[in-house]
A = this chain, B = another copy of it.
Amino acid sequence: MKKLILITNDDGVSAQGINVLAELMTQLGEVIVVAPDSARSGAACAITSTQAITLRRRIDMEYNRLQVFECSGSPVDCVKLALEQVCPRQPDLLVSGINHGDNASCSIHYSGTMGAVIEGCMKGIPSIGYSLRTLKHRCDFTPYADEILRIASFVLEKGLQQDVCLNVNFPEVEKLAGMRVSRMGRGRWVQEWISANNPRGMNAFWLTGRFLNLEPHNEDTDYWALDHGYGAITPIKLDMTAYEVIHSLFPLTSHS
């Protein structure tokens, strides 16, 4: 049976990145796209609990054996809906992206691209997120096509360990320096707000910000790789327990 590949993103079904990704994935199997109807940048693992979600087939976007659906929910909603309401069987692979903007370091926590990947992983599907460090809506994705396919093929063939998914980030370059397996670098966003002009005199602000790399010299981080022209492959796990500090919290245990 042909491999079944589920594709989603957080930039919306019309974004260039997801359309490039879908075209690449048709080389590896049967492809179903279920993506948000418009941009959901920064949606993280958000789910929609306060309204009903609509699902609509986009026959106008389909070709070969590609099926395309758009959904009014978040990237995680897209994955949940795809698995229960669209896919004829459990997908062999979930890929999310290609995001316009990197999701390295702490940005993974905010990322809708990676939210969908974490959801796929939670459901037992080998899952990969692809992101490109760019500010553009139209990009040249050709420098990354071979690596995208190579990583997806590797995962289709060998699978991933239980509860582990991949976060793959590319720098915007004409030719990659190579690919590195990395860890999440430490960092945070700073100077995050600018005042919004507002005719009613309310306090209003736009979210913006500057990324502060807290370990710019550590070569094993995803951020270092991107800064130096490499693609970064970072394995991410669902279990966020800080095992190493459990003992220090024992004074808080009690029995009635």
Q: Using a CB–CB distance below 8 Å, which chain A residues touch chain B?
A: 39, 41-50, 52-56, 73-74, 76-77, 80-81, 84-85, 106, 108-110, 112, 115, 118-119, 122-123, 147, 150-151, 154, 160-161, 163-164, 166, 175-181, 183-184, 186, 188-189, 191-193, 196, 198, 202-207, 233-246, 248-256
Say whether B253 contacts A179, CB under 8 Å.
yes
Residue of B with least CB distance to A200: B54
- Number of this chain's copies in the complex: 2
B256 contacts A176, CB within 8 Å?
yes
Q: Does B202 lie within 8 Å of A56, measured CB to CB?
A: yes
With contact pairs A84-B192, A178-B254, A252-B154 given, residues A52 and B235 touching in the complex (Cβ less than 8 Å): no
Give CA–CA (A151, B41) in the complex, Å.
35
Residue pair B154, A251 in contact (C-beta under 8 Å): yes
Q: By the criterion CB–CB under 8 Å, are B52 and A48 in contact?
A: no
Minimum CB–CB distance for A238 against chain B, Å:
7
Chain B proximity of A105: nearest CB distance (Å): 10
